[in-house]
Amino acid sequence: MPAENRVTIAGSEKPPIANAQLTGPVPADQTVTATIVLRRRGGHPAIAVDSATAMPHVREEYGVTHGADPADVQSIEAFAHEHNLTVVDRDPARRIVKVSGTADAIQSAFGTQLQEHKVGAATFRTRAGALSVPAAVHPAILAVLGLDNRPIAKPHFRRSKKQASPAATPAGTFTPAQLAKLYNFPSGVTGAGQTVAIIELGGGYRTADLKAYFSSLHIKEPKISAVGVDGGINKPGGDADGEVMLDIEVVGAIAPGAKIAVYFAPNTDQGFHDAISKAAHDPVRKPSVISISWGAPEEAWTAQARDAMNAALQDAAAMGVTVTAAAGDDGSTDGVSDGKQHVDFPSASPFLLACGGTKLTDSGTKIPNEQVWNELAKSEGSTGGGVSNFFPIPDYQKSAGVPRNVDTGFAGRGVPDICGDADPETGYIVRVNGKTEVIGGTSAVAPLWAALAALLNQQLGHPIGFVNPKLYALPGASFFDIVTGNNGAYKAGAKWDACTGLGSPNGVAIGQGLAGTAASAAGAPVS
């Protein structure tokens, strides 16, 4: 197709990589695989963010109604063939077509130049500028992911300086089960019948460690499986193992009856999107909950990647899957050193439950003091939180008192929605690579709330699903309100705030409130 008939893909612009050594162009014969994300069939919205009573779609039916139009899939396949690319996968329900070819063919197909940059000891494939495609297929394409494979996200966990051992655990730290009791999680349920998906972009777990950990807690070891996405595998041996083990052990200790499926993907925009999309649509494991503990500042993503990720999260919400995500561990700047405030993505998506962090003390049976986690003065992290610059405020937050963005004045989505213990000094006792240690961070709060969701799903007899609108409608007593502390630019206060959201969970009260919401929606009396 002639060059003059090409159209730029909106939001695909990527700045040149900074602070890296250019080593040269990508070898012309190097194989590159890209995920082409397509528009929804008919342009139908998947679910309204203000719909507290929306009924979830059945997975199999949703893919037919809101998947890719077969005509769009056919046009992309024809485009791939004309540019010497091979279609290696197609999934209309997930609205993706994966194509593979030489770097030369990929560059020609998408109007870009691929280069290699060295950052430290690692070399990455990079690109700069915008992507383009022939005008005939342009309308069908939402995003093209995977051409640039530099890491996109980091895990939001923090190791404590306190030393732990199997025989002695530091004062003021907790097992996940102890936290579940303090937060009044429902008893008599184990998450049976549920599958919790955990998204991981690196690291791995060792079965022997998990057996030893759950045995030490006298908890039956949950059923755990590893799911590979885009070549990702369970590969223990690096620092990210702390994240993987934390996520599994928190979910497994609180909801041991739930199955746990760990979706391993490369740490790229392609891998992150494809892992979430795979988990949301998985017809075999059928997760009812997804936990995400990785992220990056909103501005680190291209607009097309944010849009594609948000669409995948919208799919999950539409199919009744509860998604939890860590809000970040670097305060209101999210670790960006430009003097402005930033929120983390994907926690900024309106289709998930963004999880902030607190510092927690207890008296053995109750919580006497819980405040915003902020150890920035010690360079030991703080909960993320603030106001999005890209996602407008959803209807369910319009009465919550979300302020405008302090830098831009944008009326954006407020982060987080809720919170939980995250300070590593009051953190979670876990086992990683043969050692007992204490880990915190908002990445611990995401699996904490994911485990609560699994318990409530079993207790209520149905998935709580896209729970955000329902939570914002609950009485204040459903949460332990956090009114002390700040995360930099934002302060805690009564009700919702941009540090700890609505508060930490009062699990039983939340279950009762959700049961009442469901009964009201069905026209039945609330017991």
Q: Using one digit for the tens of pLDDT, what is the confidence trace for 175-191? A: 999 999 999 999 999 99
Contact 142, 307 (CB under 8 A): yes
Catalytic annotation, pick one of 332, 443, 478, 504: 443
Q: In the 8-state DSSP scheme, what is residue 174?
A: B
Return left, alpha or beta for 395; rule: phi > 0 is left, psi -120 to 50 is alpha, else beta. Answer: alpha
Q: How far apart are CA 377 and CA 477, in angstroms?
A: 32
Mean pLDDT of the chain: 94
Quick one: pLDDT at residue 524?
Answer: 37
Q: Closest by alpha carbon to 397, among 505, 496, 513? A: 496
- pLDDT over 70 percentage in the chain: 94
> 355-390, pLDDT tens digit by residue?
999 999 887 777 879 999 999 999 999 999 999 999
Exposure string over 143-175, b if 16+ CB within 10 A, otherwise e: bbbbbbbbbbbbbbbbbbebebeeeebbebbbb
Q: How far apart are CA 426 and CA 109, in angstroms?
A: 52
Q: How far apart are CA 179 and CA 454, in angstroms?
A: 16
Q: How far apart are CA 403 and CA 340, in angstroms?
A: 16
In this structure, the number of other CB atoms found within 10 A of the CB of residue 17 comes to 17
> 229-239, pLDDT tens digit by residue?
999 999 999 99
Q: How far apart are CA 157 and CA 424, in angstroms?
A: 8
With a CB cutoff of 8 Å and minimum separation 6, the contacts of 197 are: 261, 262, 263, 279, 282, 285, 287, 289, 290, 291
Parse the chain into domains and list their residue ranges.
3-145, 154-510
> 317-328, pLDDT tens digit by residue?
999 999 999 999
List C-alpha distances in Å: 270 to 95, 153, 266, 347: 14, 12, 8, 17
Catalytic annotation, pick one of 91, 200, 230, 247: 247
- pLDDT over 90 percentage in the chain: 87
Exposure string over 30-56, b if 16+ CB within 10 A, otherwise e: eebbbbbbbebbeeeebbebeebebeb
Contact 184, 506 (CB under 8 A): yes
> 396-405, pLDDT tens digit by residue?
999 999 999 9
What is the per-residue DSSP string for 273-304?
A: HHHHHHHHH-TTT--SEEEE-EEEEGGGS-HH
Does the active-site annotation cover 298?
no
In this predicted structure, the answer to whether residue 20 has a pLDDT above a threshold of 50 is: yes
| CATH 3.30.300.30 applies to domain 154-510 | no
Does the active-site annotation cover 443?
yes
Q: How far apart are CA 383 and CA 402, in angstroms?
A: 17
Bridge partners of 366, per DSSP, are none
Query: What single letter denotes the amino acid at residue 39?
Result: R
Q: How far apart are CA 108 and CA 223, in angstroms?
A: 46
Exposure string over 370-389, b if 16+ CB within 10 A, otherwise e: bbbbbbbeeebbbbbbbbbb
Q: Which stretch of DSSP H or E encloses residue 34?
A: strand 31-38
Catalytic annotation, pick one of 200, 230, 241, 243: 243
Contact 504, 370 (CB under 8 A): yes
Structure-token match 């203000």, residue found = 50
Token duo for residue 324: 């939890």
- List of E strands, 201-258: 224-228
Task: Tell me the pTM.
Answer: 0.96
List C-alpha distances in Å: 202 to 30, 255, 441: 23, 24, 17
In this predicted structure, the answer to whether residue 93 has a pLDDT above a threshold of 50 is: yes
Q: How far apart are CA 275 and CA 498, in angstroms?
A: 28
